Structure 1
């Protein structure tokens, strides 16, 4: 089973940026946690701060059985990223480290949420772990 994990803008700064909100894990810690928790999954991890690079990646994601994305701030306002996410044909999850609905009002909108097979927010690094667990269950059924 192949899974693409996509980290959007500023997620390369995890561990340094607002640990009270996002946790103390780095992006590399999250990737390692996923690889260790799900050794049966062949992961590809990708991070970019550039919207176009993320769109190109989503458009070329046909080889994967599952996709997990934390699009960061692009979740709230990028119609272009939403349109690319809509075209993804495999089971897909949207995750957020924080509970966006408990934060500033401009973060309450998530354009990707209605398109996701799985949606997990507010569990910090465990958001990713739970999302993959649910995707595996959906893939097997």
Structure 2
């Protein structure tokens, strides 16, 4: 069975409590449950990982290469806008990588408009709330089947 790795970035453990206007009231556990359910429907295994430590995120990305994950989804949160370490780690991967965001980063504060990840990912999905996660999973599975 193919494995899709879902990487949740900084502060995502606070979903459900943090800025409900931007992120709604859904918790990270609820997002992961929805991804798991869709994964079953699509015939893939979804493994989720969340950390607030940038180095730990890079190490998990390195392991994804060693484990030969079939695709990686990443919502890097604020790291999206400045983490060249995460960008460089993702660039090492040979599988499809989809960047996603619940909010539309291009319609928010100016510092959020730029993604340092955008140049090295296969695609970006943003602005659809929790649906961004599900769309990203569908895209990764579709992209993986084409390769």
Query: Following TM superposition, by how much is the alpha carbon of 1:115 offset from its aligned partner in structure 2, in angstroms?
Result: 1.2
Matches within 5 A, 1:76-115: 76-115=81-120
Query: Following TM superposition, by how much is the alpha carbon of 1:48 offset from its aligned partner in structure 2, in angstroms?
Result: 0.2
Q: Is the contact made by 2:69 and 2:95 (CA closer than 8 Å) also made in structure 1?
A: yes
* RMSD between aligned residues: 0.8
Richer in helix (by share): 2
1-side partners of 2:61 and 2:22: how far apart? 27
Unaligned runs of 5+ in 1: none
Task: Report the TM-score, using the length of structure 1 for normalisation.
Answer: 0.97
Task: Report the TM-score, using the length of structure 2 for normalisation.
Answer: 0.93
2-side partners of 1:25 and 1:115: how far apart? 29
Residue 4 of structure 1 aligns to a residue whose secondary structure is strand
Total equivalences in the alignment: 141
Instruction: Tell me which stretches of 4 or more aligned residues in structure 1 moved more than 2 Å.
Output: none
1:52-73 Cα deviation digits (max 9, x unpaired): 0001111111220010010000
